[in-house]
Structure 1
């Protein structure tokens, strides 16, 4: 990464355009002048929370400051050319049945939607991105020709998959459109639980942008949708996941009291529901609770506690690859911030081994490796190779 091509340099550029001094922006975002000075000068990595705070005050998208999507790496991985078909499939939802598309039977379409979801959870992004537009077209055509709850629900699932793919690749504008389409399908499937999942995902979108109040309002909207349904393992799992989402949103707002409240609520639900797998593509239970506690501690800057918690988390091999990688990335960040440089590099390397594409495009992984480079008096070969692989 060149001296003028890093998040800190972009923050400096938009700070000046907005008319802020370094001291003025530091006071607005709630971080120290020293940290902002070091980040802008390229001497310290910008954490996702720091970047989101700057984006909110400067009134720009987070991607403007992070440089996402990372087009050079996307082209190297032959992913860049897969985005346009996804964009078109999200845009053409209202044209009705496509006369040139032949559709399979409903059980086959439902199975195809599940397979696509499993590919994303296994971080097989190339496979999912290739199949996704064609399946959206086929499901949309089937839903218009022979509408049924099962087909609309499968289409909602596929739009959720589109959200996951585009988020992981850094196309946040498309991820928001995918969530709108997800609600469009959920309404036609008459599935309030699916609509509640969509509110959970919307809350995380605003979390990434540093808009904590809006994020928590969306989580509350999800709870209201569930209140109108009867209690079931599915509704309990989604309710618990809404609380876990709220813990991370509140943590980035540095509201520790709210974090603890939502963790308590989620733990109570976990005791009642137990481990619930694959409910609208969510896995809720004790392990997921522990993973979100780790994320919250990391977001609040309680890195020592986060490292201790990370050591105690026993992630089962049956857990989705995407979630296992996320835990490793959170652990690596906390280890980097507490000076455990070798351990941090090992955690990110393990995340790369588990989920290479997700790790390569994850802002947290990039910030951790960038931080390790700044801390190193000399760059070991392993760190240099990782940095180059990430495009830093």
Structure 2
């Protein structure tokens, strides 16, 4: 219903639904009535999630309500006509999740080799920003992983649990991108349970990161910070001088997730320490690698340093960092995510033409990611509302492709 509203317009919408005067809501978030009026009339950009979260709390709505998530996933040849509801059906099928309720009359479960291959294909597609493909495949991959895990023999239990954990993680990845945060939390929690049974620190670390991301995607930023701190303590004994790159990568990526959560919680101290830990891990890896589909290395650390600066309100630092980061060696998902942050930073400095150019270039690389990401959609809406100069055909065409005009 509010998909084509800016965040400020949604604030006004929910404030009126609550029967609340501007002066009351402004007071609840420690701002002036004039500030709120300017927000609601698109005179001020709300580009920090910590501020948006405070408004959501005061209005007794979710963070997702104000940023217009979840996004409706378009049907494509990759996705078919069964998308998020199909994933929800698998997550809510206790005949799959609970062995005691299982229907053993179903077809023979797939082999663990087949499950492993399918999980890799889903993760690869996610990193290529093929969200339709991931959402279309994830239900069957998760279902197969559950059946294979239930049928695994004693000598395959750990491997089956590890694959089940990663199947859940692949599901969480696309759910969080599309703003389905509650479903993502359910999947991440179940994935962590499977990872604990796998007796594999690499898989456990990967699921710790997954859960931390799911937690802070719901707006529970400080909880995300605490989770990262606790998870790092669990993994630290395994991070010796001879730790494999995969373990160092998931450990480092955990700190990157924590740095963004800390920035959104206005916790500068944790941002600094988390980024330092991540940089040390990147130094150990020594290159931009992609172990466990982390895209971890020095470049990803730089991307998160810029994102954290934006979330802390250090816009000029983000603007200065953005063009220095060469993402050409990273998967499409990481490259486009950096482009979205760059466009956000340029917009905050009134460089809309530069921001639009960055977003258009990113759309060429990963149209599904631009179409469905909350920040890119919000940027386009704000540019449309605040367009005071000559008519921009390129902007209007982009808005049309994003179903915003």
TM-score (norm 2): 0.87
Higher mean C-alpha displacement, 116-125 vs 252-261: 252-261
Structure 1 CA distance for aligned equivalents of residues 29 and 210 of structure 2: 25
Structure 2 CA distance for aligned equivalents of residues 4 and 133 of structure 1: 29
SS in 2 for 1:280: helix
- What's the CA shift for 1:48? 5.4
SS in 1 for 2:105: coil
Match of residue 196, structure 2, among 187, 195, 206 = 187
Output the aligned Cα RMSD: 2.7
Structure 2 CA distance for aligned equivalents of residues 169 and 236 of structure 1: 28
* Structure 1 residues 175-229: Cα deviation after superposition (integer angstroms, max 9, x where no partner): 1111022113212212344333333233333433433221111111211220343
* Structure 1 residues 110-158: Cα deviation after superposition (integer angstroms, max 9, x where no partner): 1111111111111112222222111222221111112422222122111
* Alpha-carbon contact 1:117-1:281 (below 8 Å) kept: yes
Structure 1 CA distance for aligned equivalents of residues 4 and 295 of structure 2: 41
* Structure 1 residues 2-45: Cα deviation after superposition (integer angstroms, max 9, x where no partner): 89944323322433555754344335445564443223234454
Higher mean C-alpha displacement, 89-98 vs 288-297: 89-98
- What's the CA shift for 1:343? 0.8
- Residue 105 of structure 1 is matched in structure 2 by 111
Moved over 6 A (4+): 1-4, 76-80
SS in 1 for 2:295: strand
- What's the CA shift for 1:383? 0.7
Higher mean C-alpha displacement, 320-329 vs 7-16: 7-16
* Alpha-carbon contact 1:46-1:367 (below 8 Å) kept: no
- Residue 126 of structure 2 is matched in structure 1 by 120
Structure 2 CA distance for aligned equivalents of residues 169 and 103 of structure 1: 30
- Residue 59 of structure 1 is matched in structure 2 by 60
Structure 1 CA distance for aligned equivalents of residues 393 and 373 of structure 2: 22
- Residue 273 of structure 2 is matched in structure 1 by 261
SS in 2 for 1:277: coil
Would you say 1:370 and 2:381 are equivalent positions? yes
Structure 2 CA distance for aligned equivalents of residues 25 and 202 of structure 1: 32
- What's the CA shift for 1:103? 3.1
* Alpha-carbon contact 1:123-1:358 (below 8 Å) kept: yes
* Alpha-carbon contact 2:188-2:214 (below 8 Å) kept: no
- Residue 36 of structure 2 is matched in structure 1 by 36
- Structure 1: give runs of 5+ residues left out of the alignment: none
Task: Say if 1:112 and 1:2 are closer, same or farther in 2 by CA, change over 3 A.
Answer: closer
Structure 2 matches for 1:216-235, cutoff 5 A?
A: 216-231=225-240, 232=243, 233-235=245-247
- Residue 382 of structure 1 is matched in structure 2 by 394
* Alpha-carbon contact 1:22-1:36 (below 8 Å) kept: yes
